[in-house]
Amino acid sequence: MLRRLNHLGLTLCVLLLLSAVLLWATGYVQVATTPGRAGASQTHDHQADSGRADAANTHEHHGHDHADHALDQEVHAPSQRVAVTREQVTRLGIKISRAAPGIIRRKIRAAAELKVNSDRLAHVVPRAAGIVRQVSKTVGDRVEAGETLAWIESDELAQAKLDFYAKHAEVGCCEIELPRAKAIFENVARLMEHLEQEAPKESLHKLDGLEMGKYRGQLLTTYAAYLSARATHEQEASLHARKVSSDREILDAERVLRQSRAKFHAAMDTARYETRMAYSEAAQARQVAVFDAVAAEKQLRLKGADDDVIAKLRGLVPTLADVKPCLCDNPNCTVGSLPSVSEGLRNDGRFAWYELQAPFAGTVIGKHMALGESIDESTEVFTIADLSSVWVEMVISQAAASVVKAGQTVTLHLPDGSECDATIDYISPLVVAETRTALARATLDNSTGQFRPGTFVDASIFIPSTKEVLVIPKKSVQLVNDHTCVFVWGKADFELRHVKTGITDGLQIEILEGLKPGEAYATDNAFHLKAELAKASGGESGGHGHAH
């Protein structure tokens, strides 16, 4: 009998031991691990076992029949904890922060294309129609401002050069005629003043060296005749008073005096009028000649002539300094000879040539000309672009056009996976009727040449908001069993808490439920906690990385 009781007791002990092992295997273990350590501390929390068992039963009995009930289960799920020490937090690089209100920027995605900056794009056309004689640049070449692109031979340029020479030669003639007309006008006026005042001969002799043209002889002749007639009249008057001459003789003397006086005054009036008119016409002719010369120079420059060409042509125009009399008997003397225009033109082998120049520094992106080709002013022969900056043209919907403003930040996602930021500087005031879209544009610095016009990119336009919500870094949110969660710090452990998220700008994410302002949570390297939780749960708590 005693032996049977002992055998029954041993059997009961074995059954109790097996029951204890089963209860331990289904319980919850708190884990604190450090990478590289051989073991990990484990504790058994009977309250956690009971709570988890109740939650599992509730889940089995009620299921997920309604969406609201499922969401409530997600946010208010039973807590799971990962016990760690401060030392382990430091080793794992886990950063703890407190939840606080912030601003989430709204993000608008748009298709975009890199394009040439139209403000730094030039379509080079010929200045004058002609024949292509030399091509110096081709597509892809880097050019500087003013660098030669090609040489063109043009009949229009040759004619413009000849017109320029003729007009400037006429100005040279006017430069000779105008000072002479002015001098005659002033000197004749001075002579007439002396004659009207009946200045002594000595004063008149002082004017002998001044240029007066034909008016000196006319005035002095009529003045001398007038003085002679007046002296004769005075003599006849004296004789008539003494009854020596007859009345007829005194009358003849008076008649001659009046005639000579009239001729003298008429000569002065004629000289005064003609010299004034000659001076005025000379001044006017010079003004017209100068105007024509300036117009000819402008026309010549429009045809492609530069400063050197203008200077050479001016050197062929004779000036007053070139006109010198030759007083020697040598017929081959070159004193006073004018430069030979024909010889000067004959020595210029490129008299009708002009060069096409780059308007600014840039890159040749188009060439439409060949050697010997005939081109005119409407032919676009070169296209040059300054690629140190490029435009980003974004297509946005008409709804987004009302909130996208100049000055907002846009992030560009390039084909190679890199990103860069730019600032919107233009919004089109028009919406394209066919697509109901508007154009937004930003300018990128391309001094390194990394951006190529024609590249398609994705753009994210961030719209600032003034509404504050509870936000945390997006990397803090982990995906555990397909639920968005965060690890909330307690006194000595992290609690896995399900949260409901809202909008995100890619860096921060809005928390709608599950976390309160001021609570501490794992910001950086929260995936270590997720890994430890998965180990403790036998791999059942795995997810799909962090929240997206």
Span 192-200, average pLDDT: 91
Whether residue 166 is found in the same domain as residue 307: yes
Residue 13: inside a domain: no
Based on the fold, state whether residues 171 and 262 are members of the same structural domain. yes
Range of the domain at 422: 106-120+386-463
Distance (Å, rounded) from C-alpha 294 to C-alpha 314? 12
Highest mean pLDDT among 88-102, 281-295, 313-327, 516-530: 281-295
CA–CA separation, 372 and 131 (whole Å) = 6
Confidence of residue 31 (pLDDT cuts 50, 70, 90): very low
Note whether 394 and 376 are same-domain residues. Answer: no
Q: pLDDT tier at 342 (50, 70, 90 boundaries)?
A: low
In this structure, the answer to whether residues 523 and 430 fall within a common structural domain is no
> Is the same domain home to 182 and 310?
yes
Are 541 and 502 contained in the same domain? yes
Residues 269 and 391 placed together within one structural domain of the fold: no
Question: Are 116 and 93 found together in one domain?
Answer: no
Three-state secondary structure call for residue 155: helix
How confident is the prediction for the chain on average, in pLDDT?
A: 81
Of 322, 343, 374, which closes a domain? 322
412 and 444 fall within a common domain: yes
Q: For the chain, how many structural domains are there in total?
A: 4
Output the six-digit token pair for 530: 């997720």
Q: For residue range 303-312, what is the model confidence (pLDDT) as tens digits?
A: 888 888 888 8
- Calculate the alpha carbon distances from 366 to 13, 227, 267, 446, 534 in Å: 95, 87, 75, 20, 62
- Residue 371: inside a domain, yes or no? yes
What's the pLDDT at 144? 95
| Residues 411-442: tens digit of each pLDDT | 999 999 999 999 999 999 999 999 999 999 99
Rg of the Cα atoms in the chain: 54
pTM of this prediction exceeds 0.85 = no
The pLDDT assigned to 420 comes to 94
Q: Is residue 348 part of a domain?
A: no
Q: The domain spanning residue 371 has which CATH number?
A: 2.40.50.100
Q: What's the rounded mean pLDDT across residues 241-246?
A: 86
- Is residue 262 a part of any domain in this protein? yes
- Residue 37 counted as domain residue: no
SS3 helix, strand, coil % of the chain, rounded to 5?
Answer: 40, 25, 30
Same domain assignment for residues 228 and 291: yes
Is residue 18 over pLDDT 70?
no
**In a domain? residue 9:** no
In contact, 286 and 174? CB cutoff 8 Å: yes
What is residue 72's predicted lDDT score, i.e. its pLDDT? 44
* Residue 91 falls inside a structural domain: yes
- Verify that 168 and 307 share a domain, yes or no: yes
Q: What residues pair up with 439 in beta bridges, in sequence order?
A: 395
State whether 85 and 177 are in the same domain.
no
Domain-located, residue 167: yes
